[in-house]
């Protein structure tokens, strides 16, 4: 995890102290997990004291909620943008896989935190973040259903197939080498893997 910079989408992250807190927490949560990270650790990395941190976030869970929400909204935005101009189920599956891989490769720490620490959030706090998650899942399942109806896919269990595809890219931040691995090449390979999984021909 230390090989990656604490990148977050600039258009949604506040400037100043609050942004520093989010980036500090991003690194700490990715390396140590939510329960292994203290408020003091986040404050120290951000270069502030705990009292200043609490003036921006009332609890550690709120910091995690902010990061998770940023992560799931960023991925959904990428999916929606990638789907513009697609028409067939196969085109939509390719677009979804490519956007997912590129998103995980572009923001690896955010992907780790969003995927690995989401379960820590209470139901009430997690509720807003579940909306983009559900929409992303719907887009993938709709593409699979469309491709099956068109005769492009041969899927025995749509639910297991969808969950497998969703999980494929989540491991990328755990093994990708930011200095040598080309995200576009990874995306091409994942498109091929996804096509094989659904019984579609290679491009």
- Which residues of the chain fall short of a pLDDT of 70? 1-2
- Residue 127, burial from CB neighbour count under 10 angstroms (0-12, 13-18, 19+): exposed
The pLDDT, as a whole number, for residue 38 is 95
Superfamily of domain 61-198: Tetracycline Repressor, domain 2 (1.10.357.10)
Transcribe 11-35 into DSSP letters. Answer: TTSPSTHHHHHHHHHHHHHHHH-ST
Per-residue confidence (pLDDT) for residue 3, from 0 to 100: 73
List the domain boundaries for the chain: 61-198
The pLDDT score that the predictor gives to residue 202 is 86
pLDDT tens, position by position, 130-149: 999 999 999 999 999 999 99
Closest C-alpha among 135, 138, 153 to residue 91: 153
What are φ and ψ of residue 7, in 5° steps?
-75, 140
pLDDT for 6 equals: 87
């Amino acid at each position: 995890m230390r090989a990656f910079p604490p990148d977050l989408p600039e258009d949604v992250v506040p400037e100043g102290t609050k942004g520093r807190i989010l980036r500090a927490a991003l690194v700490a949560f990715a390396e140590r997990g939510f329960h292994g990270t203290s408020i003091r650790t986040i404050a120290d990395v951000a270069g502030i004291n705990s009292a200043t941190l609490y003036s921006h976030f009332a609890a550690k869970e709120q910091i995690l909620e902010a990061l998770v929400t940023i992560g799931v909204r960023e991925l959904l935005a990428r999916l929606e943008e990638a789907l513009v101009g697609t028409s067939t189920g196969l085109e939509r599956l390719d677009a979804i896989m490519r956007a997912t891989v590129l998103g995980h490769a572009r923001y690896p720490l955010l992907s780790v935190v969003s995927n690995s620490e989401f379960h820590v959030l209470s139901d009430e706090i997690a509720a807003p973040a579940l909306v983009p998650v559900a929409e992303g899942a719907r887009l993938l399942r709709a593409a699979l259903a469309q491709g099956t109806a068109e005769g492009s896919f041969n899927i025995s269990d749509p639910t297991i197939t969808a969950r497998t595809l969703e999980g494929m890219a989540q491991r990328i931040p755990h093994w990708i080498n930011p200095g040598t691995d080309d995200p576009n090449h990874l995306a091409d390979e994942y498109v091929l893997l996804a096509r094989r999984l659904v019984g579609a021909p290679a491009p």
